[in-house]
Amino acid sequence: DARVTQTPRHKVTEMGQEVTMRCQPILGHNTVFWYRQTMMQGLELLAYFRNRAPLDDSGMPKDRFSAEMPDATLATLKIQPSEPRDSAVYFCASGLSSGISTDTQYFGPGTRLTVL
């Protein structure tokens, strides 16, 4: 049963600390998305990778957020320094794209981040 995995599932940290969230996309998928979900803003796209290359990170606060794909089996989202307003659930999703078309996105279980 192929699924997207995310670690950690929960993270509580203090303001100013660095936070790193990891995602393992489904094997064979070539697209990875990072989303942030809050009650106020809903699902916000933070970053999009295709074949490990970042195609869109316009939704990401550039001064503190960074996203990378060191290899095809690992995507990371880093926040440095973290702030209380970053508290949210962060989802990773992966999919298989044959070009520019958007196929089904398979979401991971999310990382619930609380910044005190």
Partner 1 sequence: QQQVKQSPQSLIVQKGGISIINCAYENTAFDYFPWYQQFPGKGPALLIAIRPDVSEKKEGRFTISFNKSAKQFSLHIMDSQPGDSATYFCAASGGLSGGYQKVTFGTGTKLQVIP
| Residue 81 touches partner 1, criterion: CB under 8 A | no
Output the smallest distance, CB 43 to partner 1, in A. 4
CA–CA dist 88, 22 (Å, integer): 15
The answer to whether residue 42 forms part of the interface with partner 1 (CB under 8 A) is yes
State how far the Cα of 31 lies from the Cα of 47, in Å rounded to an integer. Answer: 11
Q: Give the range of 11-19, 60-68, 80-88, 101-109 binding partner 1 by CB under 8 A.
A: 101-109
> Is residue 104 within the footprint of partner 1 (CB under 8 A)?
yes
Query: Min. distance of Cβ 16 from partner 1 in angstroms?
Result: 28
Neighbouring-strand partners of residue 66: 78
Which amino acid, one-letter code, is at 107? Answer: F
Q: Is 20 in the site for partner 1 (CB under 8 A)?
A: no
Show Cβ contacts of residue 7 under 8 Å, excluding neighbours closer than 6 positions: 21, 22, 111
* Contact positions vs partner 1 (CB under 8 A): 4, 42-43, 45, 48, 50, 55-56, 58, 91, 93, 97, 100-102, 104-110
